[in-house]
């Protein structure tokens, strides 16, 4: 329809002011109608991009964990002193699966809807993966966000330093304007053959409930 319309315009040698006004109005209507569709396509592409980046981060977490099995005798994730130490603001659970389910329930509701997700105080329980002040590679951190760096209290194992080392000091940038990659670790527990592995959650601060992955070895 649009092509036919444009051909009809090109085929005319001249236009009256009235015809020009009609043409302008129709083109404006077409542009207004198409804009939201193109915007939706753009956001969808960013969503797929951030999901792919989260997969890369999870692969790095898996590699880090496996390496620690060899060098330390038991696996752990970046920022953990040991497999049974949490990263972030969630306490050591008495029931690991219950704790993982509880965290995931909270996470699924943490989305950018009426307000930006980064303004939620839920962020205070999460940690930046590559460091909130690190601008390498164009990484950004939304002003006013509650997410902090690990270690928050100076305890062992600098999380963002271990992440950066795993990625060759090349932080991964979120494709979203308010995006930033964050994580927590629900610790494992027990000992010997009865020990349970920790579980890591990685999310994009743009809308954590929409863009996240979890992994337990």
CB count in 10 Å sphere of residue 35: 10
What pLDDT is attached to residue 42?
75
Confidence of residue 203 (pLDDT cuts 50, 70, 90): very high
Tokens 């902090």 sit on residue = 148
Residue 162 has pLDDT above 50, yes or no: yes
Q: Alpha carbon of 18 to those of 10, 21, 23, 29, 99: distances in Å?
A: 17, 5, 9, 17, 68
Question: What's the mean pLDDT in 197-204?
Answer: 96
Q: 159-166 vs 17-72: helix axis angle to the nearest 10?
A: 100
List the single range of 101-105, 169-173, 198-202 with lowest mean pLDDT. 101-105
Strand blocks (E) in 20-126: none
Confidence of residue 157 (pLDDT cuts 50, 70, 90): confident
What pLDDT is attached to residue 156?
72
What pLDDT is attached to residue 39?
47
Q: What is the pTM of this model?
A: 0.78
pLDDT in tens, 23-65: 666 666 655 554 454 445 477 899 999 999 999 999 999 999 9
């Amino acid at each position: 329809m649009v092509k036919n319309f444009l051909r009809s315009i090109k085929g005319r040698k001249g236009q009256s002011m009235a015809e020009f006004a009609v043409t302008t109005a129709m083109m404006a209507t077409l542009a207004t109608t198409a804009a939201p569709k193109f915007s939706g396509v753009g956001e969808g592409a960013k969503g797929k991009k951030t999901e792919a980046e989260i997969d890369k981060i999870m692969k790095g977490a898996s590699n880090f964990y496996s390496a620690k099995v060899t060098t330390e005798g038991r696996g752990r994730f970046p920022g953990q002193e040991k497999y049974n130490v949490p990263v972030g603001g969630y306490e050591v659970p008495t029931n690991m699966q219950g704790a993982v389910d509880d965290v995931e329930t909270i996470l699924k509701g943490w989305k950018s809807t009426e307000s930006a997700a980064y303004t939620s105080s839920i962020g205070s329980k999460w940690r930046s993966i590559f460091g909130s002040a690190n601008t390498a590679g164009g990484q950004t951190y939304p002003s006013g966000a509650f997410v902090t760096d690990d270690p928050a209290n100076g305890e062992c194992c600098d999380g963002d330093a271990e992440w950066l080392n795993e990625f060759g000091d090349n932080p991964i940038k979120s494709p979203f304007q308010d995006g930033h990659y964050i994580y927590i670790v629900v610790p494992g527990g027990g000992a010997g053959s009865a020990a349970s592995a920790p579980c890591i959650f990685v999310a994009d601060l743009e809308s954590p409930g929409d863009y996240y992955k979890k992994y337990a070895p």
